[in-house]
Homo-oligomer: A and B are copies of this chain.
Amino acid sequence: MSEAATQTYTRADEAFDCLQTAIVKGDLAPGEKIGEVELCSRFNLTRGPLREALGRLESRGLLVRRPHAGVKVVSVSAEELLELYRIRETMEGLAARQAAERMTDEEIADLQATLDSHEKMIEEAQGQAYYQAEGDYDFHHRIATGSRNTKLAQMLLGDLYYMVRMYRYRLSTSSGRPHMALGEHRRIAEAIAQRDGELAEFLMKRHINAARKNIEKRIQNGTAGV
């Protein structure tokens, strides 16, 4: 959640984190038009740092801001959410390939250990979708950073994942997939451990593709009013 050792935690950073989690968790509903002073009083901030945070959020695509007309949380349509997964498919495929080539042995061991704890979490917290989502996020996070591709990790972690997580809170992860996803994670980790970049890329793409199809199906069933 928190970045590395930010030497000094400035007010603008605080505002940024507050707003970001608020948007991701849905405390600020998509499409909701909200004023700056309102936000200030709600998060105990002044307008300076707030505006700076707003600018950062805007360039990350989490909210739109029309001059003199206020800010509103971005509302992504169902089609756009699926497009997001298409992007993830290619980018994370690349990340997996590079991770297989570049992760240290320790990192790989950690990755596999992480999967063990995920398995326990799923068994214990049956249906507790939240922990599953966090575990999934953790897995993909490790691979993104493991790619040693600075910009790639930055784009995945800074841009895409926040939007994906934002919609996880509404379309809480589907009931059947956790076990299946864990198995797919295992196979990906295996491929990385064997330093088989091509296979890791293939498996990762298929993994995300499956997740996309799953969402697609649920949307068509009318489960979600995205």
Contact = CB atoms under 8 A, between A and B. Distances in A.
Interface in A70-90: 80, 83-84, 86-87, 90
A200 interface: no
Contacts of A51: 52
Given A59-B60, A60-B59, A67-B8, A94 B84 contact: no
Contacts of A68: 8
A158 interface: yes
A152 interface: yes
Contacts of A53: 55
A151 interface: yes
A152 B61 CA distance: 11
A107 interface: no
A142 interface: no
Nearest to A86: B94
Contact of A87 (B56, B67, B86, B149): B149
A86 B86 CA distance: 17
Contacts of A114: none
A91 interface: yes
A149 B149 CA distance: 24
A120 interface: no
A149 B67 contact: no
B150 A83 contact: yes
Interface of A: 6-8, 10, 12, 48, 51-53, 55-56, 58-61, 66-68, 80, 83-84, 86-87, 90-91, 93-94, 98, 149-152, 154-155, 158-160, 163
